[in-house]
Amino acid sequence: MQTIALWIACVLSLGVCALHVWLGGREAARPLLDSELRSIPKYTNYYAWHMVTIVIAAMGAAFAYAALIPNGRDVGIAALCLSVAFTMWSLALVLWKYRRPMLLPQWLLFLAVSVAGAFGLM
């Protein structure tokens, strides 16, 4: 059962990554690149957007590693910590900026990854 939960966390992470690339590319990255921001802030943010893509994909790979390798638990724990941190930051941002929770639904996506990962690592 734990291995199944880790695979679910892997698939969810990769799904979040795909949404990040597809929707985030259209809704965040493209408008950023089309903006009138100066080059350094524009491309620093664009670089950070790609770093997030890489981290989310690596989380999926880490959960897969933890599911496949008997001694891979530590890698799964690292992915879980990232997912929980992303969940908490998303919620903090929603509360801080007084947004409706579903305007920035990232917290919900990372919460699902976190729950599956936690079950898999129990």
Q: What is the pLDDT of residue 101?
A: 85
Interval 92-114 mean pLDDT: 90
Give the C-alpha separation, 96 to 105, whole Å.
15
Q: What is the pLDDT of residue 103?
A: 83
Residue carrying the six token digits 């989380």:
59
98: left (phi over 0), alpha (psi -120 to 50) or beta: left
Provide the sign of the torsion angle of the four alpha carbons 101, 105, 109, 114, taken in this order.
negative
Residue type, 100: R
Q: Is the distance from CB of 121 to CB of 2 less than 8 angstroms?
A: yes
Give the C-alpha separation, 55 to 69, whole Å.
20
Q: Is the distance from CB of 11 to CB of 57 less than 8 angstroms?
A: no
Per-residue pLDDT at 99 exceeds 80: no
pLDDT band at 77 (very low <50, low <70, confident <90, very high): very high
Q: What is the dihedral of CA 19, 25, 26, 28, to 10 degrees?
A: 110
Residue type, 91: L
Per-residue pLDDT at 1 exceeds 80: no
Whole-model pTM: value is: 0.92
Q: What is the pLDDT of residue 55?
A: 98
